[in-house]
Structure 1
Amino acid sequence: MAYRKLLAAGISGTALALSLTPQIALAQDSADTTAADANASETDDGAIVVTGFRASLASAVSTKKKADAVVESVSSEDIGKLPDNGIGESIARLPGISAQRNAGRANIISIRGFGPDFSTTTLNGREQTTTNDSRAVEFDQFPSEILAGVDVYKSSQANHTAGGLVGSINLRTIRPLDYGKRVFAVGARGTYVDQKLQPDSTDKGYRVYGTFVDQFVNDTIGVALAAAYSDEPYQTRDWNAWGYGGYGPDVYGMNGIKTWSESDSLKRLGLNGTVQLRASDALIVTLDGFYSHFVDRIDQRGFEMPFNCGGYCGADRIVSYTADERGLVTSATIQGTPVIENYASDRVADSYSFGGNIAWDNDTGLRAMLDVNWSRTKRTDDRLETTAGLRRGRNGADGKFIYPPTATVSYSLTNHGPEFVSNYDGASSALVLTDVEGWSGATNQAGYDKVRRSTDDLKAIRAEVEQDIGGFLKSVTVGVDHTYRTKSLTQDEAFLIPPGGADGAVIPSELLLTPINLDRGLGPILAYDPRTLVENGVLNFVANPYGASQAFDITENVWTPYVMGKIDAQLGENVLTGNFGVQAVHTSLTSQGAVNPTVKDGYWMILPSVNLALRTPFDMVIRFAASEQMMRPRMNQMNNIVSFGYDQQLKTYIGSGGNPLLRPYKAKALDLNVEKYFGGTGYVAVQLFWKHLDKYIDPSGIDFAYDYSPYPVPPGQVPATPIGVFNGPVNTKGGYIMGTEFAGTLPFEVISPSLDGFGLTGGLGITWTKATDYKGDSTAIPGYSKYVASLTAFYEKYGFNLRGSMRYRSGFLGDFALFSGGLDRQQVLAETIYDAQIGYDFQDGSALQGLSLYIQGQNLTDERSATVADVNGGAFPGAWLKYQAYGRRFVAGFTYKF
């Protein structure tokens, strides 16, 4: 029984307080560290306080060990100091977890081979609204400096009501009464990117942040305040192919190309505050507030040219080509009409989150909790596109381009994508704003403007009561969660055309910028800011009423009553802990569109779960978890915007759009873990998991029995029956995901005292998956990588800290968000990212006590992000579809705590 009492207290010997876990003061055996550790200091009461990356790892290990569910954790090294530059990078280093980069930022997280649409993210346990059209949180909206840590739950339990087919991510902020002392910390850092692609952009940025924590009135009131502001540049060399088509019999080459220089200026203000009141020994009130103001300004300038587009741009554009034995064109010469493009994409988003919690515990075995929260994100996206060339394009009666080509471009495939030779002067003063390829017909569309505005609003209230029972069944919890969420979108669109019906508009010299040089041999191109054209009368703004028809409003009303029992039993020298329970989830959905009729739906889901942890006196934990899990569809997949018309070939209506009657993804899941802990700060683990997909969503399924009779009749021919063909998301059945994960943290002092300060931490995940599309065929799961690995080697002693990290993921099907709100799915190639950091923490007693300095290098090998095309039914190595290079980033900064 002595072991069990120590375990319950979190103590196995002399106390070791880990100061940098703001959520809770952890206690471990004094053997967890050594007295010689110069990164530890001794307090007045003799406790050893560990700081730095090693303490962050120890905190994460302790969280994993104590949890009843399958959990991976990241803890802050200190106030305002997560181990990585961003939240996404820190999460992506956890076992079985990977990231997809956006402009070089790791802000799209995959858990166990599933993309972000299969997991949820909460802030202090509360579901959050998002800055995109789906439910997936983009981690850019949360500054890392305001967080105390992150927990990733891979198994389900009944009192976690946010859902998640493969897991849920909980971001934690500081709880000031738990932190238990006063601290004021400030910091700043500068950023340098080693490529500057456009003259009006910058390769330098900065971040500043501050945190204040204190307790008042005999530690009955706690306050934690945090603020962070960043102005960060991102530079991307971006090349894209249109796809691959037939150059000849069984010969496939690029249909067209687009090469960009992209400069991204990201500015973000994040504010977070928590106030806690210990009203009595039995009652604690906690109030949280979070605000983020997010401005992302992207300038894209590039060269686009059709090569082969089914005869509409003329098959005679292909002058010559050579192909390999597979039929892939490896070099070609094309005659055509290039388009010089200057695009601007601006996003402004404001996110708010407020929560209140009342927790009551009268020490008689009865506890109660009431939690309310409100989250809202308002977002405006403005996508402005303009095109320039030597003349306006026109098509003849047969649809083919009738003017002779203006350029000859040759390409050769290499191991880093195609290289080009071009005779086109993309910076010529003769270029005018016009529809170079004649794509818009009579409109002469020299530009286009699309503005999308969305509001995501979520209100939730949760109440639960827990009663201690005693014996094998430690306690029983009964609760209910109610969530009311609405997501609405409006869309305004407009043509930008030359004034007076002219074929082209000359760009005033005062609006021109220094030409930019594209890589890959395409040379200099014209540069200007398209935001200035309409206001200066260069192009006219002509509204396109189509945009208004794309508006939607979706409402979810979800009730989740749940019951959960906790287990705590002595089995010989072992301790069995865990929980079991069930959720009953009722969802009512209303989907409204600007044109189509309102659709309402409702359904129940029953989700049982069990988590068991057998803890041995030899510091081993054996875990078993079983549950039914679900994840709701993307919000925009449930819109009732249906576009359709008469198909001459099928003699029926054919259309596409959303599907308000979609049901969530659902799976049965099993987990089995064996974990061995040693030294209080290290562990090794083998984790096995299996999920059977009971219900899946095919994003492009076809339902041949779709009834179009409720919708307004489109102009043109009318078929004999309103029953037609529909292309959109539909539910399917069948499939699985299974795999194994190896994880561990190894401080080398457990091997030899002479190696004190050195260590390794990391993991390897191997998964196998299968899902079924609407035809019953196997289909790839977005975000799935068979292999995911991470490794960090570190040294930390005498104030010095040094670490190098890598993370690897094998190829996967990536989701790339389109501005329309849809997704472009492409096969992403494997990638390995290397980062490093060196720093120094001034020691207690020195004149600069509390000051930490550090330098980081990120993406040190300038690893590309690349995709390949599906050519003739399979992914061809070397058939490049996208190739992006983000450059290396170097960060130097400090934190000062006093």
Structure 2
Amino acid sequence: MNIFATKRAASARLAFQLSPVAAGCAVFLSALAGSVYAQDTTNTANAVANTDTAPAVADQADAKQPVNTSGVSTVTVTGIRQGIEAAISIKKNSTSIVEAISAEDIGKLPDQSVAESISRLPGVSAQRGRSSGKAAEISVRGLSPSFNGTLLNGREMASTGNARSPEFDLFPAELMGSIVIYKTPDATVVGQGLASTIDLRTVQPLDFGKRTVAVNYKKSRLGVKQRDGLPEGDGDRLSLSYIDQFANRTIGVAVGLTRYEETGGAQSKFNSWGGWVADFQDPRRPTDPNAKVKTPGGFGYDTEVNSHNRDGAFASLQWRPNRNFKSTVDLFYSAGETGTKKTGIEAAVGGNSAGTYDPNGVLSNYTINSANVVTSGTINNWVGVVRNHYEGAEDDLKTIGWNNELKIGEWTTAADLTWSKATKQSSRYETYAGLAGNAPKDTISFSGFDGGNFTQVKYTPGMNYADRSVARLTDVMGWSGGVSSPQAGYLAMPYIEDEVKAIRLTAKKDVAWGPIVATTYGFNHTARDKSRTGDEGRLVIPGGNPYGAAAMPGSGTTMAGSSGIMVASWDPRGSLGSVYELAGKVDADIYNKYWDVKERISTAYFMGDLDGELFGLTYRGNVGVQAIHTDQTGGGYAIDRSRCVGNTTATCPAMRVTDGEKFWDVLPSANVSFDLKNDQMLRFGLAKVVSRANLDDLRAGQNFALNSSGPFQILNGSGGNPHLKPFRAKALDISYEKYFGKKGYISLAGFYKKLDTYIYRAPRAFDFGPYVTPTTPLPVGGPFAGSTMGLMTQPMNGDGGNIKGFEVAVNVPFSMLTNYLDGFGVMVNHSDTKSGIELPEIGFDNVNGDMVSIPLPGLSRKVTNLRLYYEKNGFQIAAAARKRSNFLGQVSDYQDNAQLTFIKGETIVDLQASYEFQSGWLKGVSLYAQAQNWNNAPFLEYTTDPEKPTNRVDYGRTYHFGVNYKF
């Protein structure tokens, strides 16, 4: 669609409890109540509340959590250290290898999202969103975020993205009671991931000891201390919760409401189109075609402002008339709107044309160094584009669940029904302003270029692009073909809908089968239907004149990033009809984004709980197996590019196609924990694990054409793969843990994953025969003359390779050393991960085209987290830092496609301080202040050299000030 953009691109253990909803708000309720909620044991009798500051721990039958937290009873929460102790209890008493974080950890950390909170755990790292600067995706043990299974109270949820798991910004940190990351699964975990399974947990109203009402207000300042002095943003958060019990504690009710509105600070962004250096004709030897000098290829400077609004509502009703029966109904609703307003200027600098209306440039007033790099100069016949874009989305997530638990004799049974639906309506306005296609061109001067320092070059246009008589809304470049197809902007409105229905039946019984002391039998069936549709097309100026131009509404001006160049600015929302007309468009690339996927997954499982003694050492654990049947169907469109001569349904005909696959997976697992005495544990985990492909990879759509650019002609295409199998691996884990009561611990863990299959993009032999028509050009001459055989680039299953690494964690209070340091403590962890896999570069647009292979996406070799804290007499102070090394991340491109890009390692520093009144009429009131990204770390992308970034985003600091009152 846009040659500039092209340059830039080149250079589900579903528990039988219904609570994604509960997750959202009960957790929210938890944090507001200032309580930590640890999940308890298989003993139902433990679910009795007994403190006035925290609920009693729910029994495992109550929560049906995947982890066995036998031995964890009531936790009274008063601060950071109690939160740490609750998390340690979960970790210590689990029969699997897990990491945990509790409500006090979350509520007292300077974190706003689940992703930020769990990124501090060993072996966990977060990728910041390119636009928002907030932690958006989570990698565990160096694996891509798509390798994680994400559950809410043990259940899978619908999602609003292409991936399976919901986006973490649906779950603010204050909504979480506890979070457990399973690094080794057991047979009852449905919806597991190859890297980990992340279980977001909430509590239910009968877990509370008394009526609890809490209210919280927070005021935020965003984008503070920006590098370029750009305007700051602000935000407001308000939350309210009510929890109560009636009828002699046989009925419990919880209701929560939350709302936040946030406008981010202005962000400075720079893009060098992948570090593109242009070969320019040497002006000193104009007649020698081989005489070339180097200039910057192109640039994009932008100022972005993000906005986030979200409303959440939660309700839970529980009925427990006796010890043998309990029924729970949960409802959760989250609706939000996000938006990014982008204003900037973009242009080619090198001598070649970057659009139909962009002539080749002419270099003058130049300085050339000994390496033939033009360090400064002026380009004539230059065309710049002022961009005012808006990318926004409205999403909602609705979940309803009904869970019933019944104890019949020696059996404990449960039935759970789940319904979850997510929708997301996006809109992407692109508008272009500048000189009309038939107008005289401008000049641009640049200086300070050394061949690689793209972020430091100074550019000066000849005209004033803050002047609305210069920056007019028009087809500046002729990107869609010029006179025959004017394009003064672009509008895309993708729509995603995802629906998940599940039923789960379980039964558990104590037995005496040697080392097996209890057995669990279960069946889960999940039906998922997801689709992506949406209209898009060119924005044109009415009147029929291909060179038509319109005045830009308003009078605003903005500096384009850190360029120093002022440009005219406006908000294009609502301009369809008042400023522009829409020329609807469909072509091969657009059809490729229309898809639907249906999945029917049935899982039968058995697990035995272990308890015994071996070589004088007591042990406990579990052994089991899952048998999973998958029936998947992908839909889409097949397009013969030779017949796609326009951008309408008549001029680009498409064939609706569907295909699918059925297969079985059998997943054995075993976890054993040995008690080495003196609070020491040695754990082993062995399992076969899977991670399912992203849903868009399962689409059946494809497009193809005759490729004549190689040594011989051949049909060539790209698309999805509805026959795709999951990532499959055999995993071995070992962990040594030394605990100091409930106060702290140290641990050392190692892991090895042997990949049996993985998913990558590459060309393969493919017969296009079912899709060719009599008019389809076939190869003439060469080995494929007249053949319908060709190459299809699509997601495929590869085999071989491994992932291995180790993790070290220390979590101790300094009072263990001396009472003089009572209140102080430290949490530090480090992980080092290596991959024996390199994927072929072909098919990934945002990596360097000269590379033969790329590393495993999401893999950071080294990740380190540090947190120092002090808590005493109502005061709480903490400083935290997280550091990760360079990695291959994933971003969304200008066409809403996920692309890979190299991201430079970073260190993020956060601070917080709070005071809770201990007595008097203000008792129950807490005041707090938090600072995120205190060191103002930028987001840097690069192509080959991390020291030469090609894309930079500055976010500034974020400050939060708030008050919490609980009674």
With normalisation by structure 1, the TM-score equals 0.89
- Give the alignment partner of residue 893 of structure 2, picking from 810, 818, 822: 818
Q: Does 1:91 align with 2:118?
A: yes
Residue of structure 2 equivalent to 1:31: none
Q: Secondary structure at the match of 1:894?
A: strand
Q: In the TM superposition, what are the counterparts of 1:280-319 in structure 2 within 5 Å?
A: 280-308=322-350, 316=361
Q: Write the distance in 1 (CA, Å) between the matches of 2:921 and 2:693.
A: 56
Whether contact under 8 Å (1:465, 1:478) holds in the other structure is: yes
**1:224 offset after TM fit, Å?**
2.1
Q: State the one-letter code of the partner of 2:792.
A: F
Q: State the one-letter code of the partner of 1:303.
A: I
**1:761 offset after TM fit, Å?**
1.1
- Give the alignment partner of residue 701 of structure 1, picking from 750, 753, 762: 762
Distance 1:358 1:309, change over 3 A: farther
Whether contact under 8 Å (1:770, 1:779) holds in the other structure is: no
Residue of structure 2 equivalent to 1:880: 949
Q: Write the distance in 1 (CA, Å) between the matches of 2:258 and 2:370.
A: 54
**1:477 offset after TM fit, Å?**
1.2
Residue of structure 2 equivalent to 1:355: 401
Residue of structure 2 equivalent to 1:69: 96
Q: In the TM superposition, what are the counterparts of 1:855-870 in structure 2 within 5 Å?
A: 855-869=929-943
Q: Does 1:169 align with 2:198?
A: yes
Residue of structure 1 equivalent to 2:530: 487
Whether contact under 8 Å (1:199, 1:514) holds in the other structure is: no
Residue of structure 2 equivalent to 1:754: 820
**1:405 offset after TM fit, Å?**
4.9
- Give the alignment partner of residue 687 of structure 2, picking from 608, 623, 627: 627
Q: Write the distance in 1 (CA, Å) between the matches of 2:697 and 2:59.
A: 44
Q: Write the distance in 2 (CA, Å) between the matches of 1:113 and 1:199.
A: 36
**1:178 offset after TM fit, Å?**
2.3
Task: Write out per-residue CA displacement over residues 398-419 of structure 1, whole angstroms, 9 at most, x where no aligned residue.
Answer: xxxxx75543344537979333
**1:708 offset after TM fit, Å?**
1.7
Whether contact under 8 Å (1:839, 1:855) holds in the other structure is: yes
Residue of structure 1 equivalent to 2:308: 266
73-82 or 740-749, which moves further after superposition?
A: 73-82
Distance 1:625 1:473, change over 3 A: same
Q: Write the distance in 2 (CA, Å) between the matches of 1:334 and 1:166.
A: 51
Task: Write out per-residue CA displacement over residues 302-342 of structure 1, whole angstroms, 9 at most, x where no aligned residue.
Answer: 111123486666665566576898x9987776553111101
Residue of structure 1 equivalent to 2:134: 105
Whether contact under 8 Å (1:244, 1:252) holds in the other structure is: no
**1:605 offset after TM fit, Å?**
1.1
**1:180 offset after TM fit, Å?**
2.8
Whether contact under 8 Å (1:188, 1:209) holds in the other structure is: yes
Residue of structure 1 equivalent to 2:282: none
Residue of structure 2 equivalent to 1:450: 492
Q: Does 1:135 align with 2:135?
A: no
- Give the alignment partner of residue 439 of structure 1, picking from 463, 468, 479: 479
Q: Write the distance in 1 (CA, Å) between the matches of 2:383 and 2:201.
A: 54
Q: Write the distance in 2 (CA, Å) between the matches of 1:7 and 1:377.
A: 33
Q: Does 1:383 align with 2:428?
A: yes
Q: Secondary structure at the match of 1:85?
A: coil
Task: Write out per-residue CA displacement over residues 797-844 of structure 1, whole angstroms, 9 at most, x where no aligned residue.
Answer: 00011111101111100100235442221111110001111100111x
Q: Does 1:154 align with 2:183?
A: yes
Q: Secondary structure at the match of 1:62?
A: helix
Distance 1:462 1:746, change over 3 A: same
- Give the alignment partner of residue 419 of structure 1, picking from 437, 457, 478: 457
Distance 1:275 1:48, change over 3 A: closer
306-315 or 444-453, which moves further after superposition?
A: 306-315
Whether contact under 8 Å (1:196, 1:203) holds in the other structure is: no
Q: Secondary structure at the match of 1:530?
A: coil
Q: State the one-letter code of the partner of 2:886.
A: G
Residue of structure 1 equivalent to 2:385: 339
Q: State the one-letter code of the partner of 1:408.
A: S
577-586 or 282-291, which moves further after superposition?
A: 282-291
Q: State the one-letter code of the partner of 1:884.
A: V
Residue of structure 2 equivalent to 1:498: 541
Residue of structure 2 equivalent to 1:218: 248
Q: State the one-letter code of the partner of 2:870.
A: Y
Distance 1:472 1:72, change over 3 A: same
Whether contact under 8 Å (1:353, 1:375) holds in the other structure is: yes
Q: Write the distance in 1 (CA, Å) between the matches of 2:690 and 2:910.
A: 35
Q: Does 1:277 align with 2:319?
A: yes
Distance 1:324 1:797, change over 3 A: farther
Task: Write out per-residue CA displacement over residues 56-77 of structure 1, whole angstroms, 9 at most, x where no aligned residue.
Answer: 1111111000001111111112
Residue of structure 2 equivalent to 1:658: 720
Q: Write the distance in 2 (CA, Å) between the matches of 1:73 and 1:329.
A: 55
- Give the alignment partner of residue 543 of structure 1, picking from 573, 581, 584: 584
Task: Write out per-residue CA displacement over residues 763-821 of structure 1, whole angstroms, 9 at most, x where no aligned residue.
Answer: 11111113243699753111110111111111100001111110111110010023544
Q: Secondary structure at the match of 2:263?
A: strand
Residue of structure 1 equivalent to 2:902: 827
Whether contact under 8 Å (1:432, 1:504) holds in the other structure is: no
Q: Does 1:790 align with 2:865?
A: yes
Distance 1:76 1:212, change over 3 A: same
Q: State the one-letter code of the partner of 2:122.
A: P
Aligned residues between the structures: 850
Distance 1:49 1:882, change over 3 A: same
Q: Write the distance in 2 (CA, Å) between the matches of 1:533 and 1:324.
A: 51
Q: Write the distance in 2 (CA, Å) between the matches of 1:8 and 1:576.
A: 17
Whether contact under 8 Å (1:104, 1:234) holds in the other structure is: no
Q: In the TM superposition, what are the counterparts of 1:527-606 in structure 2 within 5 Å?
A: 527-536=569-578, 538-546=579-587, 547=590, 550-571=593-614, 574-594=617-637, 595-606=655-666
Residue of structure 2 equivalent to 1:730: 796
Q: State the one-letter code of the partner of 1:93.
A: R
- Give the alignment partner of residue 237 of structure 1, picking from 252, 255, 268: 268
Q: State the one-letter code of the partner of 1:476.
A: T
Residue of structure 1 equivalent to 2:924: 850
**1:754 offset after TM fit, Å?**
1.9
- Give the alignment partner of residue 741 of structure 2, picking from 679, 699, 702: 679
Q: Write the distance in 1 (CA, Å) between the matches of 2:738 and 2:52.
A: 21
Instruction: Specify every segment of 5 or more residues in structure 1 that has no aligned partner in the other structure, as ranges.
Output: 1-5, 27-46, 395-402, 870-874
- Give the alignment partner of residue 371 of structure 1, picking from 416, 432, 446: 416
Residue of structure 1 equivalent to 2:675: 615
Q: Write the distance in 2 (CA, Å) between the matches of 1:85 and 1:269.
A: 15
Q: Write the distance in 2 (CA, Å) between the matches of 1:418 and 1:270.
A: 44
Q: Write the distance in 2 (CA, Å) between the matches of 1:289 and 1:104.
A: 31
Residue of structure 1 equivalent to 2:70: none
Distance 1:778 1:718, change over 3 A: closer
Whether contact under 8 Å (2:731, 2:752) holds in the other structure is: yes
Whether contact under 8 Å (2:58, 2:203) holds in the other structure is: no
Q: Write the distance in 2 (CA, Å) between the matches of 1:682 and 1:775.
A: 45
Q: Write the distance in 2 (CA, Å) between the matches of 1:25 and 1:281.
A: 12
Q: Secondary structure at the match of 1:54?
A: helix
With normalisation by structure 2, the TM-score equals 0.83
Q: Point out the structure with the larger strand share.
A: 1
Q: Write the distance in 1 (CA, Å) between the matches of 2:946 and 2:377.
A: 18
Residue of structure 1 equivalent to 2:503: 461
Q: Write the distance in 1 (CA, Å) between the matches of 2:225 and 2:749.
A: 44
517-526 or 86-95, which moves further after superposition?
A: 517-526
**1:116 offset after TM fit, Å?**
1.1
Residue of structure 2 equivalent to 1:33: none
Task: Write out per-residue CA displacement over residues 22-48 of structure 1, whole angstroms, 9 at most, x where no aligned residue.
Answer: 75499xxxxxxxxxxxxxxxxxxxx99
Q: Secondary structure at the match of 2:185?
A: coil
Q: State the one-letter code of the partner of 2:461.
A: N
Task: Write out per-residue CA displacement over residues 634-660 of structure 1, whole angstroms, 9 at most, x where no aligned residue.
Answer: 101111121112223342221111111
Task: Write out per-residue CA displacement over residues 592-633 of structure 1, whole angstroms, 9 at most, x where no aligned residue.
Answer: 225332102111111111111112331111110011111011
Q: Does 1:188 align with 2:217?
A: yes
Distance 1:853 1:831, change over 3 A: same
Instruction: Specify every segment of 5 or more residues in structure 2 that has no aligned partner in the other structure, as ranges.
Output: 1-39, 61-73, 280-289, 638-654, 780-785, 843-851
Q: Secondary structure at the match of 1:127?
A: coil
- Give the alignment partner of residue 567 of structure 2, picking from 514, 522, 525: 525
Q: Write the distance in 2 (CA, Å) between the matches of 1:317 and 1:891.
A: 52
Q: State the one-letter code of the partner of 2:457.
A: E
Q: Write the distance in 2 (CA, Å) between the matches of 1:775 and 1:503.
A: 40
Residue of structure 2 equivalent to 1:644: 704
Whether contact under 8 Å (2:344, 2:559) holds in the other structure is: no
